[in-house]
Structure formats: structure tokens, C-alpha cells
């Protein structure tokens, strides 16, 4: 009798379990939990400081939390990028300029007059500048461009969609590590250009020179945890986390000098 009862309970349990499995809503609710738990195991960007508190270059605070750009850029990637890679460029840049005449110059001046054979300064000075811009122009609740930058994009590329098409094409063509840029060139025109490693359009060796107002990091460390080999998906996701208000501000800072 007991055995029959046990079998009956088992049978009922299987039926119930089978019923749950078919319940689409229940499955959708349970899947995101582990991801959420992982995302929360990150530190505070404000705790990240340059090794030398008196060094000329310091960490610029992130204007958002590590998880602010999810699901497009995950919290763990943001944390490693800012608290390991970026701070490392900052520390090595401080070490590279220590005791030299560059100690009192700002990063733009240093890069504009860079000796490209000085690889230590080129890689770490570039890394410091590039990441500052990248982190500055990212943001949550991102929208499409507005105001002056929206008009200028339409003027120079035809439309925002055309701009995205060209930007993605250039990004996807980069072989290995590098950056995609939206710059204001010497004639005041918006241009999309790319550089390898930590080079940028301010450097004397840049093929296309100008003032950057938007940057996308396509080094593997910027996306590999979430996107693995799917760099194309990361590039498309980028359009969801651009702070166009900030890009517009940067465009307006440069504009008077070029017109
Ligand atoms: Mn990077």
C-alpha cells in the first residue's frame, strides 16, 4: 500500500514538474537570476586611485556605476576595464613622465608632440587619454544625437543611420587591437577614423589627425567576457550606450576653434 502511495506521489510530482517546465513565464523568470548575482559582485569605481597620489595624472571618476551599461556592457567587464587596465595606463604614464619636462604638460600636449619611438609614453599616454574619453562618452539611458552634433552628423554623413553604417564598417575592419574614432578634422569636418593599439588621432603619426569627440575601444578586453569572438555584436551594442549629450558638449568645445 505504501509503495503504491509513493508511486502515486512520484507520478504526481513528475506531472507537476512537467507542467512547470512547459510554463514559459516561469522559465523566463528563473534564468536571469544567476547573471544578476554575478553582476552585483563588483566593486566601487570610486575606490580606484592612481598608485602615486602626487602624480600629474589621476583617475577621472566614472560618472556611473559599473553595472549602469548592462545588458550592453556587463558590470564585470566595466570593472576589470576601469580598475585593472585603465589604472595601469595611468600608473605607467605617471612613471614615464616622472622627472622629465613632460610632468607639467597636459595629456593632449604630450600626445601632440609625441616621439613615436618612445613606446612607453606612446602606449601608456595613449591608453590614458583614450580610456578617459571612452568612459566619458558612455552612459545609460542613451538616446540618438540631438542639437548641434545631430545636425552636423546629418550634414557630413547624410543621416544618423549612414553614420552608424560607416562607423560599424570601420570598426569591424580593425585587425587586432585598436580604436574607432569620431573626430573633428582640421577643416572642421566630422570624420570616422581608426588607430591600432593605443594610438589616437592626436598623435603626429596618425594617418587622419583631428580632435576626438567619440571613441570605441575594440580591444578584446573591452568585450570578451560577454561577447567572446562576436566583436560585431559588441560594436552594434555600443550604439545603445553612447551619451550623445556629452558628445555634443565635446563637439561644441572644439567648434569655435575650427570655424
Ligand atoms: Mn581598453
239-252: per-residue pLDDT in tens? Answer: 999 999 999 999 99
CA distances from 132 to 16, 72, 183, 229, 233 (A): 54, 19, 15, 25, 23
State in Å: Cα 96 to ligand 1 middle.
19
State in Å: Cα 115 to ligand 1 middle.
22
State in Å: Cα 227 to ligand 1 middle.
15
State in Å: Cα 219 to ligand 1 middle.
6
**What is the pLDDT of the chain when averaged over all its residues?**
88
pLDDT digits (tens, 9 = 90+) for 44-97: 999 999 999 999 999 999 999 999 999 999 999 999 999 999 999 999 999 999
Could you tell me where in the chain the CATH 3.55.40.20 domains are found? 71-259
Q: Given this model, what pLDDT does residue 140 score?
A: 86
State in Å: Cα 198 to ligand 1 middle.
9
State in Å: Cα 86 to ligand 1 middle.
7
Whether residue 22 has pLDDT greater than 70: no
- Band the pLDDT of 12: cuts 50, 70, 90: very low
Q: What percent of the chain has pLDDT over 90?
A: 80
What dotted CATH number matches 71-259?
A: 3.55.40.20
State in Å: Cα 19 to ligand 1 middle.
47
State in Å: Cα 189 to ligand 1 middle.
27
Amino acid at each position: 500500500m505504501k509503495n503504491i502511495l509513493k508511486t502515486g506521489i512520484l507520478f504526481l510530482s513528475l506531472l507537476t514538474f512537467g507542467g512547470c517546465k512547459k510554463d514559459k513565464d516561469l522559465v523566463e523568470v528563473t534564468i536571469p537570476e544567476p547573471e544578476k548575482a554575478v553582476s552585483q559582485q563588483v566593486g566601487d569605481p570610486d575606490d580606484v586611485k592612481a598608485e602615486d597620489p602626487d602624480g600629474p595624472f589621476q583617475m577621472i571618476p566614472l560618472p556611473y556605476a559599473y553595472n549602469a551599461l548592462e545588458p550592453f556592457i556587463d558590470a564585470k567587464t566595466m570593472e576589470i576595464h576601469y580598475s585593472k587596465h585603465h589604472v595601469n595606463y595611468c600608473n605607467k604614464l605617471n612613471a614615464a613622465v616622472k622627472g622629465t619636462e613632460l610632468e607639467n604638460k597636459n595629456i593632449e600636449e604630450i600626445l601632440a608632440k609625441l616621439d613615436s619611438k618612445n613606446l612607453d609614453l606612446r602606449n601608456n599616454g595613449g591608453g590614458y587619454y583614450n580610456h578617459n574619453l571612452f568612459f566619458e562618452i558612455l552612459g545609460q539611458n542613451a538616446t540618438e544625437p540631438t542639437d548641434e552634433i545631430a545636425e552636423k552628423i546629418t550634414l557630413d554623413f547624410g543621416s544618423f543611420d549612414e553614420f552608424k553604417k560607416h562607423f560599424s564598417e570601420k570598426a569591424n575592419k580593425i585587425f587586432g587591437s585598436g580604436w574607432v574614432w569620431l573626430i573633428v578634422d582640421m577643416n572642421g569636418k566630422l570624420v570616422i577614423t581608426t588607430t591600432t593599439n593605443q594610438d589616437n588621432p592626436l598623435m603626429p603619426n596618425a594617418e587622419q589627425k583631428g580632435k576626438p569627440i567619440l571613441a570605441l575601444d575594440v580591444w578584446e578586453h573591452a568585450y570578451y567576457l560577454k561577447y567572446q569572438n562576436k566583436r560585431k555584436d559588441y560594436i552594434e551594442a555600443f550604439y545603445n550606450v553612447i551619451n550623445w549629450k556629452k558628445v555634443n558638449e565635446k563637439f561644441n568645445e572644439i567648434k569655435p576653434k575650427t570655424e
